[in-house]
Amino acid sequence: MLKSTLIAVSALALLAATPVCAGQTAADPDERPSAVVQDYALAIADPLRPASEVARDPLRKPAEMLAFAQIGGGERIADVRPEEGYFSRLFARAVGPEGRVYAFVPNQTSARENAYGDTLAADYPNVTRITGALEDLTFPEPLDVVFMGQEYHDFVIDRFGVDVTRMNAAVFKALKPGGLYVILDHEAAPGAGTTVVGTLHRIEASALRAQVEAAGFVFDGETDAVRNPADDHSLSVFDEAIRGRTDQFVLRFRKPG
């Protein structure tokens, strides 16, 4: 009992520390139902989370990310290209047994990553793995949230072969009116746009925003939770000098309605 209380208090403290930036509309954590805060705490404390993922929490800020994405119980969420499932596991616990998480694996990476999705589905009864074309993202039901974590820049790389305009249109169609499209990615240097997606694996936030808004989405906020001003944006995200500590942006878009 004491442990659960401490976890809930810890989660509340993290939520309260979430930076609020221009356009951000996430509810004040003090005004969120206590059950939601508890769900985040339980998601983070999930014993099924691998130790290697838990070790990344201080840099990945899971409580802040869940709050910014406005994840609630019973919601339907798609985690696009979840890979090993860092966020899918958090979402699965946060939405609870009445919710559903769709682990969407792109055709391009399915040979390696279908197994990850199947493991997630085996561990969590409310997770379903779906494999398909990013341009034809479809799900059995309308979604509350579509999330992409450090993947969008890959989809812009020419050799990945994705029509990003069609992908964003498919995300728009898959969401309920008022649904959210939340994107986490590695920031590029000012003016870089999409020119270093295939070399440094970074994309400029403003370039990504322009692409998403062109699909009909309305910008709904951003958070500095995983920003790192010490990153000068000159290195590949895989360079050991910066790996795991890159400057990252998180943008939230809303489907009108």
Per-residue 3-state assignment (H helix, E strand, C coil) for 200-232: CCCECHHHHHHHHHCCCCEEEEEECCCCCCCCC
- The pLDDT of residue 161 is 96
pTM exceeding the 0.85 threshold for the entire prediction: yes
So what's the pLDDT on residue 207? Answer: 98
Per the CB < 8 A criterion, the answer to whether 108 and 161 are in contact is: yes
- Position 37 scores a pLDDT of 62
Which among 186, 249, 180 is positioned nearest to 217, based on CA atoms? 180
Q: Give CA angle at 98 (47, 178), nearest 5°.
A: 110
What pLDDT is stored for residue 8 in this prediction?
Answer: 37
Residue type (1 letter), 14:
L
> Which pLDDT belongs to residue 29?
39
User: At 71, which CATH number?
Assistant: 3.40.50.150
Q: Which of 180, 157, 152, 158 is nearest to 81 (CA)?
A: 152
Report the C-alpha gap between 109 and 84 in whole angstroms: 12
Structural domain boundaries enclosing 161: 2-254
Q: What is the mean pLDDT of each run of 10 residues along the chain (257 residues)?
A: 34 39 41 60 95 96 96 96 97 96 97 98 98 97 98 97 98 98 98 98 98 98 97 98 97 97
Tally of domains in the chain: 1
The per-residue pLDDT for 34 is 53
